[in-house]
Structure formats: structure tokens, C-alpha cells
């Protein structure tokens, strides 16, 4: 297992290099220059060229790419163009908000979607199954930004129960989390239902029932454990999308997270800040996928035995 984890960690390095290259390349293709965005349209050409030279933007693209990678290895993510502050400090001050929101979203989505998916599979073709499937399709089609605005109108403006913006209190996260968790729970429900239906039709489930075990034990002990593998995969992959998807939610609810930070950085063409945010997103996404692979071994003994066989 340890050997596998080390190998997976090492594969993160070329992936991060590709991410850095793509982000820098795309930012290089965008019109304008950092100096022009900072100084404004009234700045003279001499002022723009002088500031671009100071920022290092006038150097060749590959030189800037290599310099960024070298500095990153040394622990330097650069400084922002506008505030001249450390990119790492800018991200660290905001990243806990985004991570906290993302974790809350995935927890709510799992708490809603997985139990409903299990019940829907156990009671297949019943009224509950039909209603749940239709409801899941409806929730999956709801745009997050529209749902967020509707929740603000209802719970903030009409009822006055919850704040419409900010993260000053713990309950400030409720509306943003629900905005993204409701569509996400529909996906969790559908995946859980499909996986459970495939599992409960297996021969070992029929054998467990023929031995006289109660239905609850058959479902929770035998079927659910094996049906969780694709669900865990989906949750891990979706967590990465949720991290990036908070950009829309943070805009709707005026949350000062990394999503808002990277949008502002793109608008001002703050290349070090955009690249730093992308590196953080990519690193945490790959870290979540690694955790998912480790959870595989804890859920399925066959995968754990395979890891041991590789070690031997």
C-alpha cells in the first residue's frame, strides 16, 4: 500500500507541470497585458512597456514557464501584480473558506442522495422509486446560480432566516451549500440506486436471504458495502468539480473564497495568482483521488490483498 501511495504521489509532479503549462499558455493567449490592465487605458506605451518589463511579462513564454517551475520548487509561488503580496498568502487566507464550503456540500449531498438511492433501489418500481427518480432528474437540471438566487429570495428576503451573503457565521454557509448540494444529491442518488440494483441481484445476496438473514442486514452488511465502490469513486471525482464549481456560488453569495479570487485575477490578468490558484485546485483534486483509492482498500478486501501482493 505504501509503495502504491508513493508512486501515486510521484505521478502528481508531471500532472502539475502540465497544469502550469496549460494555464500559462492560455493566459499568454488572452488579449492585453498585465501592465495595461493595471495602469488603465490612459497609460502611455512607455509606461506599459516599463511595467511589463518590471513584471517579467516581456520575456519569452518558455522562459517564464521554466522560471515559474524553478521558483515553485523552491517554495515561491510569486507575487500578485496588483497588491504585490505573496500568492501563497493570498490563497491560504481564502482557501479554508472554499474547502469548508466544498466539504459541506459533499456531506449534504451524500446524506441526502445515498439513503434515498438505497431506498429507491430496495423499493424498485414503487411510488417512492418513481417519485425519487423524477425528483432526481428535476434537481439535476436546476442551474446552481438560479437555485441560489431563489433560495436568497425565499430564506433571506422573504423570511429573513438566513444571511444572503458573506461567511461571518456558521449559518452563512447553509444557503451556498444547499445551492450546490441539491443538484449534486440527485447525482449521488442515481448512482447509488444503479449500483445497489446491480448488487442486490447477485447470487451471494440471494444466498444470504435463503439463509434466513433479515432484509436490513442483507442490505446494509452485504449489498451496501459492495455497492459503495462506484459511489465512492463518484464522490471523489465530484469533490474536485465542487471545488471548481464554488466559483459560481461564491459570486452569487459574495463569498471571498478562491473562486472569487481566481475570477478577479483572470479579469486583471494576474498571471501568478491565476496559476497559483490552478495549482492549488489541481493538487487538492489529485489528493482527493488518492484518498479515494485508499478507501477502496478499506471497503473491498480484494483490492487490499492486491496492494499487498504488489508490495510482496
Q: What angle do CA 89, 47, 69 make, to 5 degrees?
A: 35
Summarize the confidence of residues 128-133 as an average pLDDT: 81
CA distances to 108, 221, 299 from 305, rounded to whole Å, are 32, 20, 12
Bridge partners for 79 per DSSP: 86
* Whole-number pLDDT of residue 308: 59
Grade residue 57 by pLDDT with cuts at 50, 70 and 90. Answer: confident
Task: Report d(CA 128, CA 172) in Å as an integer.
Answer: 33
Residue 43 burial class via C-beta count within 10 angstroms: exposed 0-12, middle 13-18, buried 19 and up: middle
| pLDDT band with cut points at 50, 70 and 90 for residue 307 | low
Q: How many CB atoms lie within 10 A of CB 53?
A: 12
C-alpha cell at 4: 502504491
Domain positions in the chain: 1-78+270-312, 96-256
d(CA 235, CA 160): 33
55-64, 168-177, 301-310: the lowest-pLDDT one:
301-310
Q: How many residues does the chain have?
A: 312
76 DSSP 8-state letter = -
Portion of the chain with pLDDT greater than 70, in percent: 93
Distances (CA, A) of 9 to 173, 205, 260, 311: 32, 38, 29, 16
What's the mean pLDDT in 61-80? 86
Measured CA to CA, the distance from residue 176 to residue 179 in angstroms comes to 5
**Which H helix or E strand runs over 273?**
helix 271-299
Q: How confident is the model at residue 11 (pLDDT cuts 50, 70, 90)?
A: confident
Q: Please report the pLDDT score of residue 312 as a whole number.
A: 44
Among 58-72, 97-111, 120-134, the minimum mean pLDDT is found in: 120-134
Window from 58-72, 145-159, 206-220, 295-309 with minimum mean pLDDT: 295-309
Tell whether domain 96-256 is in CATH 1.10.3720.10: yes
Q: What is the mean pLDDT of the chain?
A: 80
Residue 306 is predicted with a pLDDT of 59
pLDDT at 302: 60
Would the pLDDT of 310 be above 60?
no
Which range of 16-20, 83-87, 169-173, 255-259 scores highest in mean pLDDT? It is: 16-20
Q: 3-state secondary structure string, 193-248?
A: HHHHHHHHCCHHHHHHHHCCCCHHHHHHHHHHHHHHHHHHHHHHHHHHHHHHHHHH
**Does residue 212 come out as left (phi exceeding 0), alpha (psi in the -120 to 50 range) or beta?**
left
More confident site: 204 or 130:
130
The pLDDT-based confidence of 234 (bands split at 50, 70, 90) is: confident
Instruction: Compute the distance between CA of residue 21 and CA of residue 15 in angstroms, rounded to an integer.
Output: 10
pLDDT digits (tens, 9 = 90+) for 135-171: 888 887 777 778 888 888 888 888 888 887 777 777 7
Cell (9 digits) for 159: 423570511
Q: Is 60 exposed, middle or buried (CB count within 10 Å of its CB: 0-12, 13-18, 19+)?
A: exposed
Amino acid at each position: 500500500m505504501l509503495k502504491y501511495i508513493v508512486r501515486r504521489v510521484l505521478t502528481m509532479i508531471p500532472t502539475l507541470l502540465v497544469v502550469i503549462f496549460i494555464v500559462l499558455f492560455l493566459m499568454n493567449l488572452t488579449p492585453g497585458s498585465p501592465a495595461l490592465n493595471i495602469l488603465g487605458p490612459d497609460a502611455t506605451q512607455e509606461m506599459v512597456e516599463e511595467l511589463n518589463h518590471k513584471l517579467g511579462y516581456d520575456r519569452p513564454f518558455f522562459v517564464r514557464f521554466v522560471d515559474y517551475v524553478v521558483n515553485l520548487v523552491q517554495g515561491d509561488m510569486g507575487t500578485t501584480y496588483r497588491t504585490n503580496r505573496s500568492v501563497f498568502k493570498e490563497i491560504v487566507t481564502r482557501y479554508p473558506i472554499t474547502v469548508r464550503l466544498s466539504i459541506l456540500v459533499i456531506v449534504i449531498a451524500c446524506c441526502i442522495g445515498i439513503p434515498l438511492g438505497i431506498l429507491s433501489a430496495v423499493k424498485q418500481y414503487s411510488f417512492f422509486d418513481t417519485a425519487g427518480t423524477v425528483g432526481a432528474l428535476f434537481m439535476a437540471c436546476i442551474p446552481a446560480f438560479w437555485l441560489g438566487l431563489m433560495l436568497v429570495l425565499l430564506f433571506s428576503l422573504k423570511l429573513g432566516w438566513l444571511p444572503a451573503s458573506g461567511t461571518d457565521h456558521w449559518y452563512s454557509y447553509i444557503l451556498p451549500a444547499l445551492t450546490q448540494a441539491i443538484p449534486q444529491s440527485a447525482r449521488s442518488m442515481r448512482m447509488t440506486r444503479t449500483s445497489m440494483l446491480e448488487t442486490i441481484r447477485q447470487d451471494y445476496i440471494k444466498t444470504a436471504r435463503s439463509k434466513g438473514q433479515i432484509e436490513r442486514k442483507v442490505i446494509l452488511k452485504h449489498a451496501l458495502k459492495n455497492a459503495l465502490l462506484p459511489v465512492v469513486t463518484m464522490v471523489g471525482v465530484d469533490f474536485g468539480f465542487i471545488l471548481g464549481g464554488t466559483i459560481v456560488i461564491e459570486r452569487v453569495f459574495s463569498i471571498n473564497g478562491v473562486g472569487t479570487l481566481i475570477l478577479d485575477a483572470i479579469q486583471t490578468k494576474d498571471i501568478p495568482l491565476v496559476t497559483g490558484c490552478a495549482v492549488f485546485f489541481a493538487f487538492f483534486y489529485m489528493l482527493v483521488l488518492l484518498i479515494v483509492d485508499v478507501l477502496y482498500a478499506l471497503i473491498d478486501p480484494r483490492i487490499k490483498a492486491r496492494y499487498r501482493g504488489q508490495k510482496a
